[in-house]
Structure 1
């Protein structure tokens, strides 16, 4: 669970990461899925594979419930993140088209940190324009306007250094280049909402679900980007 709290992994990656057998890891993943603590998504790069993701909201609810059951004074008290103004964190979000997932993540991280984290996004094969539903969901659900923003190619940031690089697309993960030593790599396996099929109106609910998923992940990412002052 601690490993999955930092990003999404395939079973074989967890075997290497944890040094345990595949059968043992698969067994515990099945138990965690049955308990609602872990979710799985089919890889968009290799449909025979799956990525596992820890549902941190569910974990928080269960921990809070367990504390309250033990003693009413025991609960999780959220604290505001502290930022080191002398060394702000820098984060790059990467997907394929840079027209939906990564740009949504960039906008939400910037909003959740009031611009105190340098958030950028790019695509391995950027689309000509932002997806209309990405613009719409940020405007309607979060009050963010990205209508004047254009997709960016990853090559444009080749000389830039980031503290954290987060891939949100299984395909982009396979081709994303390295950004130097000391960069923290995270993968979020998030399906492309534009592939839900149909008109923009038909796929808008998929964009709402994707934005909500990304926002949840951002909320839990922020404390890991802060530096105590």
Structure 2
């Protein structure tokens, strides 16, 4: 019996780093049962210091994608889940972002939101504080991915 993988789009309000982390984790843990894609709303490179911290706490490579959520809509790509990752506490205008994604991805049957702190906040920290902040963000994404896999029964 051939089963099509569940299709998930992770969308991050900034450069898509949190979405890329979630994508990498899902791909690693789902045994091919979930096809994950990620995007951001803002172009630009992730600061090297953040990438360095991520390489120290993740056992999976993170590759940011350059497509925006609008490009996926224009290409008429369909997803079973669209998951937004932003954090109202870090003043990312999260409610506007989620509303925009919900309109653009109104065809997706499952639209979820994960309140994940912005990794850019780590730029204001140094040493062990920065490492612990990044680690906390990664652990939170890992928890949400685990919950998604249980919900999707992968």
Give the TM-score normalised by the residue count of structure 2.
0.76
Question: Against the structure 1 CA distance between its residues 198 and 179, is the aligned structure 2 distance closer, same or farther, given a 3 Å change threshold?
Answer: closer
Aligned counterpart, 1:190: 116
Q: In structure 1, how many angstroms separate the alpha carbons of the residues matched to 2:68 and 2:108?
A: 23
Cα drift, residue 142 of structure 1: 3.1
Report how many aligned residue pairs link the two structures. 142
**Residues 70 and 104 of structure 2 are in contact (CA less than 8 Å); yes or no, is this contact kept in structure 1?**
no
* 1:205 alignment partner, one of 132, 143, 146: 132
Partner of 1:216: 143
Q: Partner residue of 1:141?
A: 57
Answer whether contact 2:85 2:116 (CA < 8 A) is retained.
yes
Higher relative contact order (CA 8 A, sep 6+): 2
Give structure 2 stretches of 5+ with no counterpart: 89-93
Task: Give the whole-Å Cα distance in 1 for the aligned partners of 2:110 and 2:55.
Answer: 30
Gaps of 5+ in 1: 1-83
* TM-score, reference length from structure 1: 0.54
Structure 2 partner of 1:77: none
**Do the aligned partners of 1:163 and 1:182 also contact (CA within 8 Å) in 2?**
yes
The alpha carbon displacement at 1:134 in A equals 5.1
Aligned-pair CA distance for 1:225:
1.6
State the 1:166 CA deviation: 0.8
Shift of 1:103: 1.1
